[in-house]
A and B are shown apart, each in its own frame.
Chain A
Amino acid sequence: MADNLNGWLWAALQTLLFIGGAPLLAGWIKRLKCHLQNRAAPSILQPYRDLAKLFAKDLVLAHDASWIFRVTPYVVFGAMLLAAAVVPLVAVPLPTAAIADVIVLVGFFALARFFQALAGMDIGTAFGGMGASREMTVASLAEPAMLMAIFTLTMTASTTNLSVAIQYILNAGLVLRPSFLFALLSLAMVAVAETGRIPIDNPATHLELTMLHEATVLEYSARHLALIDWAGMVKLMIYAVLISNIFLPWGIARHLTLPGLALGTVAVAAKLALLAVLLALWETVLAKMRLFRVPQFLGFAFVLSLLGILTHVILESAL
C-alpha cells in the first residue's frame, strides 16, 4: 500500500511538473523561432511572465456571455490537466495511466474542444462561430488519423494503456518497425493540426479572418485567457511527450528510484528540446495553408497511419 501511495504521490508530482514545464517548452520554441527568423528573441521565461500578468488583470466579459463562456476556461484547463496526468513523462510506472487510456485521452481533447467551440459561439459574433466551425472541421479530419496511429501502437503492444505500452516497447529493445515510422509521421502531422501550428493554423496571427483556434478565444481576457493559453501550452507538450516517449522511450525511468528519475527528467528534457528545434524549423520553412488544403494534409496523415496498420499486418506479422 505504501508503494501504491508512493506511486500516486509521484503521479501528482509528475502532473505538476508537466503543467509547470509546459510554458518553458513554449518559450523555448518561441525563442528558437525568433532566432531562426532573425528577430530579437524574448527570454525563455517570457510565457511565465505573460501568464502571471494575465492572472493579475481584471476580467472583461462581453454583454452576451453566458455561464458557458465563464466555465469553459476551467473545463479546458481541467481536461488538459487530466490528460497530462495520464501521460508518462519521466517514469513509466504511473498509476494514473489506468484512469484513462489513449482513447480517453483523445476524449479529453474532444471535451476541451467542444467547450471551446461553444464558448466561441456564445458571444454571437461572426468570428467566434467561424473559429468554432473551422476548429471542429479540422478536428473531425484529424481524429481518424490519430486513432489509426494509436491502433498501430496498440496492435504491436496490444494495450491502450500508455504505461504498459511504453513498458512493452522498452522491453522489446531496439526493433526497427516500419509501422512505427508511419505512425510517428502521421501522429506528428495530427499533432501539428491539433495544436494549431503552421501550416494548419498560425498561433501568432492577428488577422481575424485567418484564425482557427484564436478566433474562438478572441473574447477572452485576464485569468480566463491565461487558463486557455496555458492549456494550449500543456496540449502542445502532451503531444510532444507522446511522440518522444512512445517512439523513442529510451532514458525514461522504469522504476521510481532517485537516479532513475533524474536521468528520466534529463532525457525527456533533451528529447523535448530537440523536438522543439524540429518544430521551429518546420514552422519557419513552411507557410500557412489555405483552409481547404487542410483536408489533403490530414488525408495524407490518414493514409500514412493506414500504411502503418497495413505494414504492421503485412510485414511484421509472423507467418
Chain B
Amino acid sequence: MHLTDLSLFSQGILVSAALVLFTSFVMLAQARIQPLIYAFAWQGALLSITTALVALVSGHTHLYISALLTFGLKALLIPWMLYRLTRRLHIQYDVEIVAHPSLTLLAGTVLVVFCYYVALPIAQLSTLVTRNTIAVSMATVLLGMLLMISRRTAVAQVIGFMSIENGLFFAAVASTYGMPMIVELGVAFDVLVAAVLFGVFFFQIRTSIDSLDVDRLNRLSERGE
C-alpha cells in the first residue's frame, strides 16, 4: 500500500507521528528550561491529536477518551505543574550547557535508524494503519532516555522521563490501538502522581544539596568526595 492510496486522515496520522518525533528532537536540542517544557507540552498535544486521528480511522471510540486524557494530562496539567515549579524555584530562565549538541542530535538520528531496523519485523506482522509508526514510538522512548542521559538538571530529567512515557503510550496506540481502558487510566494516574512526587523531590534536593544538578547527587555515594 502506497502513501498516495491512504486516506487523508491516515496520512494525517503519519504527519502527526512525525511531528511527535520532531518534538523529541526539539527537546534534545533545547537548552533552556521553559522552552523545553513548551516542547514537552506540544508533544503531549500532538500525541493526543495522533490518538484522536487513530480513533477516527480505526473506529475505536475508547481511543477518544485516551486522546482527551492525554491532552488534559500531558499537554496541559503536567506542563503547567512543571512550569509553576520552575517559577517557584526561580529556574525558569536557566540555560543548561549541553556538551556537543550537534553530536547528541546526530546520535538521536542514529537511534531512529536503529529503531526502524528493530521494529521492521514487528511492523511486517501488523496489519494496522499505524504499523509504520511503531518505529517512531520506539524512537520516542529511546530519545527520552537520551535526553535523560545528556542532561544534568533534574527538571530536564523529569521531562525526559515523561517523554519516555509518551513514547510507551504511543507504542501501545500504534501497535494494538491502545491498551485496555483500565490500564491506561492507571498509567495516567501513576504519571500524575509521579509528577507530583517529582515536584516534592525537587524541593527536597534543592534544600539538601542547594542545586538541581543531578551530578551533585554523586556526593551521596558511600565513597564520598
Contact = CB atoms under 8 A, between A and B. Distances in A.
Interface of A: 172-179, 181-182, 295-296, 299-300, 303-304, 306-307, 310-311, 313-319
Contacts of A319: 1, 123-124, 131-132
Contacts of B11: 175-177
Nearest to B134: A314
Contact of B3 (A295, A296, A304, A316): A316
Interface in B71-116: 101-102, 105-106, 108-109, 112-113, 116
B101 A299 contact: yes
Contacts of B101: 296, 299
Contact of A307 (B109, B116, B132): B109
Interface string B5-30: 00010011011011101100100010
Interface residues of B, number: 32
Contacts of A310: 109, 112-113, 116
B29 A300 contact: yes
Interface of A is mostly: helix
Given A176-B11, A177-B3, A315 B136 contact: yes
Interface string B114-154: 00100000011000000111011000000000000000000
A303 B132 contact: no
30 contacts: A173-B4, A174-B8, A175-B4, A176-B12, A176-B15, A178-B15, A182-B18, A296-B102, A299-B102, A300-B29, A300-B105, A303-B29, A303-B108, A303-B109, A307-B18, A307-B22, A307-B25, A307-B112, A311-B18, A311-B136, A314-B116, A314-B135, A314-B136, A315-B14, A315-B136, A316-B14, A316-B132, A319-B123, A319-B124, A319-B132
Contact of B8 (A176, A299, A303, A307): A176
Contacts, number: 79
A307 B8 CA distance: 21
B18 A181 contact: yes
Contacts of A314: 112, 116, 132, 135-136
Given A314-B116, A316-B3, A182 B109 contact: no
A255 to B, nearest CB: 23
Which 8 residue pairs of A and B lie closest in terms of their CB atoms, listed nearest first? Answer: A178-B18, A176-B11, A299-B102, A311-B18, A315-B14, A303-B105, A178-B15, A316-B3
B100 to A, nearest CB: 10
B219 interface: no
B21 A311 contact: yes
A310 to B, nearest CB: 5
Interface of B is mostly: helix
A171 to B, nearest CB: 10
Nearest to B10: A176
Contacts of A182: 18, 22
B109 A295 contact: no
B14 A318 contact: no
A315 B133 contact: yes
Max chain A CB contacts within 10 Å: which of B22, B106, B133?
B22
A295 B102 contact: yes
Nearest to A156: B3
Contacts of B14: 176, 178, 311, 315-316
Max chain B CB contacts within 10 Å: which of A175, A299, A311, A314?
A314
A178 B4 contact: no
B25 A303 contact: yes
A300 B25 CA distance: 9
A178 B8 CA distance: 12
Nearest to A176: B11
Contacts of B29: 300, 303
B2 interface: yes
Max chain B CB contacts within 10 Å: which of A179, A306, A311, A316?
A311
Nearest to B124: A319
Nearest to B16: A178
Max chain A CB contacts within 10 Å: which of B1, B18, B106?
B18
A176 B113 CA distance: 22
